Amino acid sequence: MNTANKITLFRVVMIPAFVIVCYLDFPGAHWVALALFVLASVSDFVDGYIARNYNQITDFGKFLDPIADKLLVTSAMLIFVEQGRMPAWVLLCVIAREFAVSALRLVAVDNGRVIAAGWSGKVKTASTMVGICVMLIWSVPTLDLLVNIVILVTTVYSGLEYFMKNRDVLNPNK
């Protein structure tokens, strides 16, 4: 197993640790949760960098890396939904966008085409990660609302952009 895949596995192991800490009630628990979330988020960039720059791209990594990312973000958002800090429909929009873009990419691959991450997808990912960190640090209703709006807008926009730029992939007349 190469270094990039070990880092991805490390991120997967950190997800339940993050969730458990979110449920514990001790002084500074939210700081520990934040540290785990940030560490897991940073590990995503590190494993990708190592995989690309040291020729460590594997099918295992291609499979597990996006799953780990989505599980990390979804677990944090599920906790916010449970706490009443994020409406479930916002999380549903995030999950629906991920499924839709993943499905679009699968169809594209079947047609011999790769859909790379677009700028709006990167903005969506960064704003979601930062927004989750903000919500882990502060529990302020107005700030929660602002983060929810930013996550929702960037999610919907990036999803629509993926489909608009790649609509030919779904052309039924091919």
Confidence at residue 170, expressed as pLDDT on a 0 to 100 scale: 87
pLDDT band at 111 (very low <50, low <70, confident <90, very high): confident
Residues 158-167 have pLDDT tens digits of 999 999 999 9
pLDDT band at 93 (very low <50, low <70, confident <90, very high): very high
Q: Using the Cα atoms of residue 1, residue 66, residue 23 and residue 134 in order, give the sign of their dihedral.
A: positive
Confidence at residue 99, expressed as pLDDT on a 0 to 100 scale: 95
pLDDT of 174 higher than 70:
no
pLDDT band at 112 (very low <50, low <70, confident <90, very high): confident
Radius of gyration of the chain, Cα coordinates, nearest whole angstrom: 17
Please report the DSSP string for 42-95 in residue order.
Answer: HHHHHHHHHHHHTT---HHHHHHHHHHHHHHHHHHHHHHHHTTSS-HHHHHHHH
